[in-house]
Every structure is written in C-alpha cells, then in structure tokens.
Structure 1
C-alpha cells in the first residue's frame, strides 16, 4: 500500500491512500469487560423492543382495513424506517460489546455512514410530514380528505426517502475522499462524521463546512416547520370546547413533541453545535439517544398509545389464539361480571 509523509504543524505524519483492504477500529464505550456486558444487555433489550414494537405496528396497520388512512400510512413508514435505522447501528454495536469484534473495513464504514445519515435525514422529513398531516386533520378538517389522499400520502413518503438518500450521499462521498492517518481508531461506537473527520491528516475544512451547512439546513428547516405545525395545532386545540378532547389532543401532541425535541436536540448538539470542547464520552452518550433510544420510543409514543392501534393489535392476537382459549377467556369475563 503506498504511503506518503506530510508535515502538520511541524510534525511529520504518515497517511495512506484508501483501498478496499484498509480497516478502522471502533473503540466503543468502555474498556471494562464487565461494564460492557451490562451495556450489551441494556442495548439488546432496547433493540428487541424497537424491532418488535415497529413490526407489531406494521402488521396491525396492514391487516386492519380501518387503519388504511394517511396517518397510519405515515406511522407504518416511520416504523419501517426505524427498523432499518436501528439495524444500521445496533447489531454491530452489540457484536463489539460481546465479541470484541471491533474492526470494520473502509467500504463497510462508509456504507454504515451513508445509511445512518440517509435514515436519520429521512426520519426528519417523515416527522415533518406527520406533523403536517396532524395539522391538516385538526386545523383544516374540511379539506383534509380531499388534500391528503392516497396519492399525496405516497408522494410525501417517497419524497422523504429520495431526499434522505440524496442527503446521505453528500457526507459519505465527501469523507470517502479524505486521506486518513495511520491511526485508524474511531473513538466512537459506529462510523459517525465527527470522529472520522478527526482521523483525517489532510485539510478537512471544505468537508467540515459543507457538512455543517448541510446539517444546518436539514435539521433547522425540518425542526422549524415541524414546530410551526404544532404551534398551529395548539392554537386550534384551545378552541375545542370539550375538555376531554382538548386534554387528549394535548397529551398526544405533547408526547409527539417530546420525541421530536429529544431527536432534534441531540442531533443538533452533535452536528451543528460547537462540540469540539466536549469529551468523547459525552458525545457517545448523546449519540445513544438518537441511534438507540429514540427508535425504541417512536412505536410507543406514536402508535402503541393510540387506542385504535391497541384495539387492532388485540383483534390480531385473538385471531391467532386457539378458539378454546378465547372461549375460556370470554367465559371468565362473563363470570367476573356476575361477581
């Protein structure tokens, strides 16, 4: 492999051209094996909840005709995205924690980076689309059925995915062109943008400023439009006369906003805020929120708290249970009513 010597701030340093044979070492979280076991168990449980919860939502919406509406189409799209989003990061993270398999090839690292940014950006766009759908349903109910039809819903989701792919290509292509030092130790638990930039020996300013502008545009524009949608929703809710309806709508919007703010807040901290003075451990801790925790919260907040989804899931479970079990359950409920 060809090597070159350069001088950086008066010090000689070697770096190598990128080839398919080069590898990175993912340092992960802790060097303590016992602590890593506890992290493995925690992340594995969250991973199982994330995948199972999102699969339940997708199955419920697919099998229940009453849920074939734009809102649940968007929820299904988000669930589908979350499964692939968490699959991009968590399986490799679990392997690193348990098996100490902490090496990743250069093409593998760039591929992980591409899919991570793609799914992350697509989630921003889908959260915006869902906020717009909720705004139309609450603030413009007379126009909702005519504007948010099947064709429009499909176009909004397809547009989110296409824009997300284009967003993911830019940083992946920019970072793939950089020259990296002999030290290939990525001080993170996956191939993320900041730790990869820190490993480069060349001039990273053009790449850094390009990714900063991209992050600024994607995150702040999506967040601003999402918050504006919820602002109009809150204003409309104040005009609802029924206290129960107002309380239920506020509860739903509050839960949605909590997820949105956690997701955007941690992403802005990592990719837009001046984080150079923060420790690597703090960066890893913050990254856990948008890579591991938020994908697990979304099915709970957006769908499993929804009464219609819970009823649909219950119907599906009863459909697959043995008939004698359902009869026994019905008999027990009937007896309890007479007690």
Structure 2
C-alpha cells in the first residue's frame, strides 16, 4: 500500500479517522480511495454527497508528498492502522487515528501496557507514588505510556528511563518539535528504550485542542489507565473518561479529602469510575497478571525443525544472531527476493516466532 496515499487520507479536509477508515474499507485500500470515481465514495456510510464533492484529492496528495519526504529524511516511522505494528489495543477503538508517526525503539504491542496520567503540578506525594508504581511495574514487564507533559507525566517517563522500563510519550503536535521544550533531554533518552508517538504531521503546533485528542491515544493504547493526583478538571480526568468509554480499566490513588490534587482521584473512585489503587499488586490482581508469565517462551527448537520451511529456518538462523535487523539488511544477508522474504516474515510472525519492530525491522519473539 502506498505511503503517499496512506498519508493523503489524513490530509483530506472534513474527513476524520472514522470516515477515512470507512472509505478504505469500501475502496479496498488507501490507494483505491484516490483512484476510484468520487461518485462511488458517496455510497460510503456516513459520508454526504456534498462532502465528497468538496474533497480536494490533489491538494491532499501534494501535502502527502511533502510529508513523505520529511519523514524519510528524518527517519520517522509511519504506521498505518492496518499494519501489524500498529497498537492493537488502540486499533480496537472506533476513533483511533488512521496512522501514527513514531520515533524510537519500542514494541507497541507488548503483553502489558499501562498508561499513567496526572496533574501537571505534581506534589512530592504524587511523585513518590509514581516512582513506587513504576518500580513495581518493572517487575511485571509493562510498557508505560504517558503524555510527556509537566508533572506526573514526565515523572512516569523519568522513572521508566531510570529503570530501563520501555516508555512511550504521546504528543499533541508534530515530531518536528517538542513541547514542552524543557523535556527534550528525557525525550532523547526515551528513544533508546521506548519512543515518541503522534497522529499529527510535521508543522502541527501544540495547540490546546490537540491535547484532548492526544489523550484518547494514551487511553486507547493501554490495558488500564492509572491516575496519580488530579484536580477535578484537567487532562487526567479527560483521559480517565475516555478510557471508561473504551471499556478499559481505570484506577486511581486516593488522597486526603482536602488536597486539591487528590480531588479528581477521589471523585473517580467515589463515582465508581476508577478502582481504588494502593500499589502495583492491586493493579496486577485486578488485571489477572502473574509474574511468572513475564518471560515469553522461546520457540522449541524441535518445533522449528519440524514445522518451518527451509527458507523460514534460514531467516530464523540470521535473526538468532542479532537483536533485530532491518528488512533491507536481511534481504542482503539472505539473498532472497523481497516479495518472498516478506511472505516468509509474515508467516513467521503469525506463528509467533518473530515480531516486527519500528523501522521495518524484525527480531525473534
């Protein structure tokens, strides 16, 4: 599927992610959306004929070409919603982005994902709770997701980096900038065992209206959202409400009744919108986690010999010699046609022997 056409879908004015995905489903691919006659798109449920007639396909494609050049130059990964690397938990949400821009090294589909959110004006109490939670989550092998904002968000990222816990920051702007700029140092460190993620193309400023939309990605990517200190209004409670709308678990640490930044947490607990949390063990119990399930079992060597083809065994031998390898390098090492290699990689991934990584790379599961 053409990267240009995938990008162009997001540049069509007045067409959001829900309608864009309906158009792809009807046309069969992103490319076909731009190839079939526009009158046929009028049959897509939810799209008015007037909307179709106002679409400027040429302008969308032109903007997409510019963005494709930018992401290629700056080594930014573009993950379309049909891609196996797209966060599967997020894909299940009706309003999930059509595509994501990503930087870093992280598996967006690990066994366990927890989002941590909270006030931008975190107290020492909140920061201590965050530190203890991340330290305990480390023993459960969870990916930590947050929004790289001031307060609890950046505390969660910093604690994750300190413990080498994979962590992803979801941004409300393009990857050509970082807001707040003061978090550039921690963001750079996150790229080594985690990354940055956004639905916004280059040139998108951190405008106020982008952040509630950003919060749906934070909520949608995770098995559960944890709120650590929050006022009665603000992004943390918005994220919790969105998580509830997705039928995802929400947990909150309680606080003293007179504390401003415990008011939101106590509200969520009081109205049964969040489970009461005191530590990671509470979270693990509620989610049915077991520590002995952490380490994925390596494929049995006898199974490999019996069940894999000669080409698949060759691929596994090469992957076994490195942590991960890009598909281009793998092609050169093996000398296999790209089309055949891609098919074999897909078969191995579907069987659970390997997994795809950002940057079109692969590694053994």
TM bucket normalised to smaller = under 0.3
Of structures 1 and 2, the one scoring higher in RCO (CA 8 A, sep 6+) is 1
Q: Report which of the two structures shows the higher radius of gyration computed on alpha carbons.
A: 1
When normalised by structure 1's length, the TM-score is 0.22
Looking at secondary structure, tell me which structure has more strand per residue. 2
When normalised by structure 2's length, the TM-score is 0.21
